[in-house]
Amino acid sequence: MLLGGKGEDIALHIGGPVSRAQLRQLVAHEQERMRDAGLAAGGSLAVRVPPSLGCVVAMLAGWRTGAQVALLDYRLTRFEVDEALTRLAPQLVVEPTEDVTGRLRGYFDVTTRITPVPGGRPAGTPHALLQLSSGSTGPSKVIGRSVDSLLTELDRYDRLDGFPGGGERRVVLASIIHVLGLVGGLLHGLAAKSQVYLPRMQTVDGILKAVAADDGPTVILGVPSQTAVLSAAQAPPKLPQLRRMIVGGELVKEDVRERFTTRYGAELGVMYGMTEAGVIATDLTGATRPALAPTHNMPVRVEDGQILLGLPADPYVGQTDGTRYVDGWLRTKDAGTLDEATGLLTVHGRLDSQVSIGGLKVDLSEVEASISAVPGVTEAVVVHGTGIEAFVTVREQSAFDTLADSLAARLAPYKRPRTLHHLPELPRTATGKPVRNAEVLRAAVRSAAAV
């Protein structure tokens, strides 16, 4: 049972219960720290803190102050963080006082510091939230969400039949700085007075302990890879309070669905969404799979096989190519079909180079550009099969020998290639373009090794 008071008083459970009154006190204290550091309404703040109570408090304090809050993944390297801070130019950055490690940790116990950023500027746009997302080409894009955009998404969650509401717990496995964990998990949980529970460890045992910690109805929010881990558990305990698991980020394999629903006696729901727009379409019961129902007030159409979304404003901040958002429609670069009779949407995957690694979007062209920028590398092609693979040509062998270390300083762990292949030259098409077929590239590696 809960330890901090009546269930309806508990806002969060991160290592222990945090009541709404306690959360308000923590946020007020953090606001004072930020004001002392120079933050005011209309200012700008970057938060780079791992999942923790400190992360939640920093975000809420920034918004309560009236500042624009940019969220940076704590797994980014120092190189990536410095690049992001140069682009965003926030006035303050909130970071942990010590680096943290632990790939399967659900949350961390951290102390944060607030540091003024030289050259930081007040918010240059009216957006309340800024996030970085890998683009289809080149560097990450800056995506802005207004207050109205976030409130509209919260309303869409309210209208979803089967999404956890008041009196229900949500065990959040999805990152609380990315769209599903942030809006669907944290912000909607606080607004709906549904306790948000972060497990200490995102292992099978850690997740199941989080579900079993209270006998009230519970929903898990996560990504398909976590469903696969749970479905592989042998003889899991009876958890009658587990109503369903809801996942987003990629397609769920049918065998994983069958194992999960059979072993836990719970439904498996799926969601389709984007950082630019939040939740777009859902099937929370599995009744319409693989099709999804567009959410309330989310205009969706398909043009030339591509899913388009009707948005009131361009979500991109700063320099853009001008082709993604045209005449009120966002081109998602996702392939899909729309059944005109039922209104159901079926998502077929990406049209561009984005892939999903553990529920996190990775743009292969960004990885490719990072590899190509390493001194001594002449060319690179990056593909995705069972994992990210890079095929590289170099001027000298020493450049390839040190490539893994160079990438460790430039790319977050989930973006790094699982395998690096050295080729004397890249296979090319008849028109001179590098071949991007993984099998052809691997065959070239075998041929080079034989020679």
Contact 105, 74 (CB under 8 A): no
C-alpha–C-alpha distance, residues 284 and 288, integer Å: 9
Please give the mean pLDDT across all residues of the chain: 90
How do residues 164-188 score in pLDDT, each as one tens digit?
A: 998 899 999 999 999 999 999 999 9
Residue % of the chain over a pLDDT of 70: 95
The least confident of 24-28, 59-63, 275-279, 355-359 is 355-359
Q: Is the preceding peptide bond at 290 cis, omega within 30 degrees of 0?
A: yes
The 3-state DSSP class for residue 34 equals helix
Split at pLDDT 50, 70, 90, the class of 430 is very low
Question: Residue 369: what pLDDT?
Answer: 85
> Using CA atoms, how far apart are residues 120 and 80, in angstroms rounded to an integer?
17
Model confidence pLDDT, tens digit, residues 392-403: 999 899 999 999
Report whether pLDDT(90) > 50: yes
Q: How confident is the model at residue 329 (pLDDT cuts 50, 70, 90)?
A: very high
pLDDT tens, position by position, 259-306:
999 999 999 999 999 999 999 999 999 999 999 999 999 999 999 999
Is 432's pLDDT higher than 70? no
Sheet holding 267-274, edge to edge: 17-19, 10-14, 196-198, 169-172, 218-222, 242-248, 267-274, 278-283, 293-294
Map residue 201 onto helix, strand or coil. Answer: strand
18-144 shares its CATH topology with 357-450 = no
Q: Which of 12-16, 61-65, 101-105, 352-356 has the lowest mean pLDDT?
A: 352-356
Instruction: Delimit the domains of the chain by residue range.
Output: 18-144, 146-352, 357-450
Q: Are 126 and 148 in contact (CB under 8 A)?
A: no
> CATH for 18-144?
3.40.50.980
Tell me: the pLDDT tens digits for 25-52?
Answer: 999 999 999 999 999 999 999 999 999 9
Give the predicted TM-score (pTM) of the model. Answer: 0.82
CATH topology (fold) of 146-352: Rossmann fold (3.40.50)
Q: What is the pLDDT of residue 4?
A: 42
Q: What is the pLDDT of residues 132-156, one digit of tens each?
A: 874 333 457 899 999 999 999 999 9
The SS3 of residue 264 is: helix
What's the whole-number mean pLDDT along residues 326-354? 89
Residue closest to 60 by CA, chosen among 11, 106, 108, 111: 11
Residue 3 clears pLDDT 50, i.e. is over it = no
Confidence of residue 76 (pLDDT cuts 50, 70, 90): confident
Q: Does the pLDDT of residue 406 top 80, yes or no?
A: yes
Using DSSP's 3-state secondary structure scheme, residue 206 falls into helix
Q: What is the pLDDT of residue 86?
A: 92
Q: Is the pLDDT of residue 321 over 80?
A: no
Q: Which CATH number fits domain 357-450: 3.60.130.10, 3.30.300.30, 3.30.70.3400, 3.40.50.1240?
A: 3.30.300.30
- Residue 192 pLDDT exceeds 80: yes
Give the model's confidence band at 433: pLDDT under 50 very low, under 70 low, under 90 confident, else very high. Answer: low
